[in-house]
Amino acid sequence: MVLETHIAELRGLLGAGGLLRQPEDLAAYQTGARHDRGLAAFVARPATTEDVSALLAYCCRHGIALVPQTGNTGLVAGSTPDMSGLQGVLSLDRLRSVFDLDLDNRSVRVGAGLRLSEINGRLEPHSLFFPIDLGADPCAGGMVATNTGGARFLRFGDVRRNTLGLKVVLADEQGTVLDLGDGLRKNNTGVDWKQCFIGTSGAFGVITECVFNLERLPRQTATAFLVPKSDGHVMGILADMEAQLGAYLSAFEDMSKAAISCALEHVPSLRNPFPGGAIPDHVILVEISRSWAPREGEQSLDAVLEAVLGEIWSRPDEPLADAFVGRPHEMWALRHALSEGVKAAGHLVAFDLSFRRGDVMRFREHMRTELAASMPAVRVCDFGHVGDGGLHFNLLVGSRDAEPPSAATVSELRDRVIRVAVETFGGSFSAEHAIGRTNQPFYDRYASDKLKAMASAFKQQTSPGPIGAARFG
Amino acid sequence: MVLETHIAELRGLLGAGGLLRQPEDLAAYQTGARHDRGLAAFVARPATTEDVSALLAYCCRHGIALVPQTGNTGLVAGSTPDMSGLQGVLSLDRLRSVFDLDLDNRSVRVGAGLRLSEINGRLEPHSLFFPIDLGADPCAGGMVATNTGGARFLRFGDVRRNTLGLKVVLADEQGTVLDLGDGLRKNNTGVDWKQCFIGTSGAFGVITECVFNLERLPRQTATAFLVPKSDGHVMGILADMEAQLGAYLSAFEDMSKAAISCALEHVPSLRNPFPGGAIPDHVILVEISRSWAPREGEQSLDAVLEAVLGEIWSRPDEPLADAFVGRPHEMWALRHALSEGVKAAGHLVAFDLSFRRGDVMRFREHMRTELAASMPAVRVCDFGHVGDGGLHFNLLVGSRDAEPPSAATVSELRDRVIRVAVETFGGSFSAEHAIGRTNQPFYDRYASDKLKAMASAFKQQTSPGPIGAARFG
């Protein structure tokens, strides 16, 4: 239990509205976007980097545990407190005032508490955007702390690639503030320390400001659904599209029939786009885009995409069973509804895996076969990013009406899937959600002793205080 | 002095040809690409990662200092020994056998001792390349250890962006080998430790293998020289080109009249491409490219570039004084000869700076004015990468026939330029060469005490043995 004297001190540090204790105020902060539930001792809401520093210094000196949180849209229990009731939530939702746009540099400095949609809304008049495309709407700080990727990774990369600088506050006795870069694209003057705070869930320090690279907003796009003749044709189609379209290619997303079915069934705003309503076993959403308005004498992007698909269509191995060009809004609406649809369809055990690209389809096949044999009640509703090797491998264990699966079943499933992903295929057990409490056992299992020792020493050197949901030391 | 007993031991570890001691054998390893000279106690040439491990373990246990070296093309004395005669060179020039191409994943694993030209030569039949474009021809290991960028950074990023994995050997008593990634593009399962070995000159460990992202080789390019009406128009031209050309734009390089003059004067293979031979004050090399062969109904890239330049030409503020489209080979030959031309023209004091993009032209103007007033004998022969903020700020201090400048003059110049770059403009004193002995004083001056303490602790945790030309702890 956090002593009342500490609460009074923290309230003094953070001012009115800076500290929440009422159960009704805490609810939103202690519940995650999927199934994690926790109990917050309090929620601290500092309004400035200086306040974050004072808070962390106080909490470090008194051993008060904090879990940093921004948009709280993550899926691995990385931004919520555990059930002990001993952890406070450090919400950065008041760090919203900084928005320094540098048009010449194509970069912006933002407060950690600004949402992706807000950032991009303010950039749109300048025809710029922060090129991370997600179904959810996280905040800047959380996107950095998880190093999220999203559906346009293939073209624009992840948050790491687009982060030019960070301001970080350490959980040490001084609440040390580190300025790690200010918009330089080239800077090799020692260890690039900001990299260590990207994708590490706030365990080594709390991000309060981010400097992001911006890209030109697409002004033309063309989209298609492709139906490959078989799984074995997918990589050939991708290679052909990369060869023929280069940097035009901005998405190559894979959707299983089961995931599409869940979305169509449970998200009422969607329409079944397939002829006769017959959902293919496997659909690839491809998108090409460019940042300028149509120019005289230039082919439209739809024509470019049709020409390229025509070439692929007539290849000797006939890799395509079907292809539909057009209706980008409808296609993306379906793609972005998959996560919601799967969640609504039953009791979900979700994995965010990644592989070398050629292994995505091989893993799917391997795992489907293994699960069909060993756990036939499990329904695979996967989708992912074949273009970058990411795979959202979702398993439904019984319908919504059924009893939820036992903890033992969930644990067995997790163990089985992650063993195959990591040990058989050399994949990653967390592609773009980082380590939260959910992934902690797999960090503990798969990180080597030496890398664990390095993380533990780095933790002591940066934030010895108890901070973050994940444990690195 | 390194004891003969150690030499005998090392020779036993590394086998015949694995250890060099004869002065004529050492010469190439102890002399840098520009003006650094050192004395090597020996050159160790391990042939495998296991040999590197045995060597580092032995040298760590006996306190024998090593400087890792691959292509030795760097310009900051980062890969050569000092004058003490106490340091050995750890050359990785025999680590050349690994070349594992993964076409599905668009990646390759290479030994640290393979040259950029060799890597790209072997990739060309697959229409792929490692997209780092340099005048020099470094090896894989050195490119990672300096995080080099080059002339196509604007489109393809630096080595960091394109590094998917590393194998690193630590200078500890065990010669610990770290496997840091194997081609995954998305992997957030703890600290991404490979980032700490990128751009840090081997001080924390020796890179023996690299996994690189590959890109499709350009199949069409169009190139132009632009003459802006004034420095003040450059950023507007860049913004227009980015808006109109998006990811087509693969270079936006800046060349001063003085640098061009040096190249034309001292590199006999070049031809003066300017009408009447009149070199403009300031020339921008732009390149656009795409990875596919010309398709029916598609405008040629020359036509695209001409159309875009036509639009920029007719803007109300008339930003262009002149523009020449065509002759890409000749244009790039001139661009890549600038470094050699400037070096041949006299006594050179060179800086590899970077800025937020809008500050490149402001810094040039500021520094030219300051130097003209305070050190009028100094001739500024700069060129750089306006598109990414990099600036090769080269100063000629007297002609080749003149006495070289005194150490005091060089030191004063370095101090003066870097103070303005860092303190006035918030720039970097090492954009893409990392820290060697040349940049050590500026690391010591500008890194904060906290960041130095973090580097020092990380050094103890990884490679406590004396390794590398730079000192981080």
Identify the segments of chain B with pLDDT beneath 50: none
For residues A327 and A333, give the distance between their C-alpha atoms in angstroms, rounded to a whole number.
Answer: 10
Number of neighbouring beta carbons within 10 Å of residue B331: 23
Do B451 and A193 make contact, defined as CB atoms within 8 angstroms? yes
Both A15 and A86 in one domain: the answer is yes
Spatial contact of A327 and B328, defined as CB atoms under 8 Å apart: no
- The pLDDT value given to residue B33: 83
Identify the segments of chain A with pLDDT beneath 70: 1-2
Both A225 and A314 in one domain: the answer is yes
Cα separations in angstroms, B104 against A27, B213, B409, B453: 46, 11, 54, 42
Half-sphere exposure (Cβ direction) of A316: Cα atoms closer than 13 Å: 0
Spatial contact of B38 and B83, defined as CB atoms under 8 Å apart: yes
Q: Is B445 an 8 Å CB contact of chain A? A: no
Q: Which of A200, A297, A450 sits opposite B299 (nearest CB)?
A: A297
- The pLDDT value given to residue A1: 57
Q: Is A256 an 8 Å CB contact of chain B? A: no
- A453 domain-assigned: no
**Strand, coil or helix: B100:** strand
Do A454 and B446 make contact, defined as CB atoms within 8 angstroms? no
Spatial contact of B370 and B357, defined as CB atoms under 8 Å apart: no
- A441 domain-assigned: no
Q: Which of B189, B245, B429 sits opposite A429 (nearest CB)?
A: B189
A336: left (phi over 0), alpha (psi -120 to 50) or beta: alpha
For residues A328 and A335, give the distance between their C-alpha atoms in angstroms, rounded to a whole number.
Answer: 10
Let me know if B195 is exposed, middle or buried by CB neighbors in 10 A (0-12, 13-18, 19+).
buried
* Backbone torsions φ then ψ of A469, nearest 5 degrees: -80, -30
- The pLDDT value given to residue B1: 57
Both B209 and B229 in one domain: the answer is no
DSSP string, B187-208: --SS--THHHHTTSTTSS-EEE
**B253 Cα to chain A: minimum distance (Å):** 15
- B184 domain-assigned: yes
Both B207 and B226 in one domain: the answer is no
Q: Which of A278, A304, A336 is the last residue of a domain?
A: A336
Question: Which of B164, B169, B178, B185 is most worth mutating to test chain A (most A CB atoms within 10 A of its CB)?
Answer: B185
Q: Which of B69, B91, B113 is the last residue of a domain?
A: B91
- Tokens 């990385």 locate to A78
Cα separations in angstroms, B360 against A454, B189, B275, B330, B364: 38, 38, 28, 26, 6
Q: Is A190 an 8 Å CB contact of chain B? A: yes
- A437 domain-assigned: no
Do B243 and A292 make contact, defined as CB atoms within 8 angstroms? yes
Length of chain B: 473
Q: Is B217 an 8 Å CB contact of chain A? A: no
**A346 Cα to chain B: minimum distance (Å):** 27
Do A186 and B104 make contact, defined as CB atoms within 8 angstroms? no
CATH number, domain of B15, equals: 3.30.43.10
Q: Is B449 an 8 Å CB contact of chain A? A: no
Q: Which residue in A has a C-alpha nearest to residue B177's C-alpha?
A: A450
Both B273 and B318 in one domain: the answer is yes
Q: Which residues of B touch A454 (CB under 8 A)?
A: 191, 193, 458, 461-462
Pairing type for strands B43-44 and B88-91 reads parallel
- The pLDDT value given to residue A369: 96
DSSP string, A203-254: SS-EEEEEEEE-EEPPSEEEEEEEEESSGGGHHHHHHHHHHHHGGGEEEEEE
Give residues with Cβ within 8 angstroms of B289, minimum separation 6.
B155, B218, B220, B221, B222, B248, B250, B301
In terms of residue numbers, what domain contains B379? 345-424
Q: Which residue in A has a C-alpha nearest to residue B445's C-alpha?
A: A189
Both B225 and B211 in one domain: the answer is no
Number of neighbouring beta carbons within 10 Å of residue B308: 23
Do B356 and A184 make contact, defined as CB atoms within 8 angstroms? yes
Total tally of structural domains belonging to chain B: 4
Identify the CA nearest to B44 among candidates B25, B24, B72, B63: B25
Q: Which residues of B touch A448 (CB under 8 A)?
A: 178
Both A68 and A173 in one domain: the answer is no
Spatial contact of B76 and B434, defined as CB atoms under 8 Å apart: yes
Length of chain A: 473
Q: Which residues of B touch A431 (CB under 8 A)?
A: 186-188
Q: Which positions 10-49 of B are in contact with A (Cβ < 8 Å)?
A: none
Do B235 and A104 make contact, defined as CB atoms within 8 angstroms? yes
Q: Is B184 an 8 Å CB contact of chain A? A: yes
Let me know if B373 is exposed, middle or buried by CB neighbors in 10 A (0-12, 13-18, 19+).
exposed
Both A237 and A328 in one domain: the answer is yes
Half-sphere exposure (Cβ direction) of A15: Cα atoms closer than 13 Å: 7
Do B472 and A190 make contact, defined as CB atoms within 8 angstroms? yes
Spatial contact of A430 and A350, defined as CB atoms under 8 Å apart: no
- A434 domain-assigned: no
Q: Which of A187, A191, A199 sits opposite B455 (nearest CB)?
A: A191
For residues B93 and B95, give the distance between their C-alpha atoms in angstroms, rounded to a whole number.
Answer: 6
**A239 Cα to chain B: minimum distance (Å):** 7
For residues A96 and B93, give the distance between their C-alpha atoms in angstroms, rounded to a whole number.
Answer: 51
- B463 domain-assigned: no
Spatial contact of B344 and B370, defined as CB atoms under 8 Å apart: no
Spatial contact of B181 and B165, defined as CB atoms under 8 Å apart: yes
- Tokens 């609440």 locate to A175
Q: Which residues of A touch B243 (CB under 8 A)?
A: 127, 216, 291-292
Q: Which residues of B touch A188 (CB under 8 A)?
A: 146-147, 199, 428, 430-435
Do B246 and A244 make contact, defined as CB atoms within 8 angstroms? no
Both A212 and A103 in one domain: the answer is yes
Both B145 and B133 in one domain: the answer is yes
Q: Which residue in B has a C-alpha nearest to residue A438's C-alpha?
A: B189
Both A212 and A224 in one domain: the answer is no
- B464 domain-assigned: no
Q: Which residues of B touch A296 (CB under 8 A)?
A: 307
For residues A131 and A133, give the distance between their C-alpha atoms in angstroms, rounded to a whole number.
Answer: 6
Both A24 and A49 in one domain: the answer is yes
DSSP string, B16-32: TTSEE-SHHHHHHHHB-
Do A161 and B158 make contact, defined as CB atoms within 8 angstroms? no
CATH number, domain of A147, equals: 3.30.465.10
Q: Which residue in B has a C-alpha nearest to residue A204's C-alpha?
A: B191
For residues A17 and A22, give the distance between their C-alpha atoms in angstroms, rounded to a whole number.
Answer: 12
Q: Which residues of B touch A430 (CB under 8 A)?
A: 187-189
Question: Which of A185, A428, A433, A451 is most worth mutating to test chain B (most B CB atoms within 10 A of its CB)?
Answer: A185
Q: Is A78 an 8 Å CB contact of chain B? A: no
Q: Which residue in B has a C-alpha nearest to residue A218's C-alpha?
A: B246
**A204 Cα to chain B: minimum distance (Å):** 10
Q: Is B383 an 8 Å CB contact of chain A? A: no
For A59, the token pair is 């909490």
Q: Which positions 88-107 of B are in contact with A (Cβ < 8 Å)?
A: 102-107
Spatial contact of B343 and B396, defined as CB atoms under 8 Å apart: no
- B71 domain-assigned: yes
- Tokens 């491990």 locate to B53
DSSP string, B258-290: HHHHHHHHH-TT----SGGG---SEEEEEEEEE
Q: Which of B65, B91, B117 is the last residue of a domain?
A: B91
- Tokens 């292509």 locate to B71
Q: Which positions 340-379 of B are in contact with A (Cβ < 8 Å)?
A: 354-358
Q: Is B421 an 8 Å CB contact of chain A? A: no
Question: What's the distance, CA B87 to chain centroid?
Answer: 24
For B449, the token pair is 């005490």
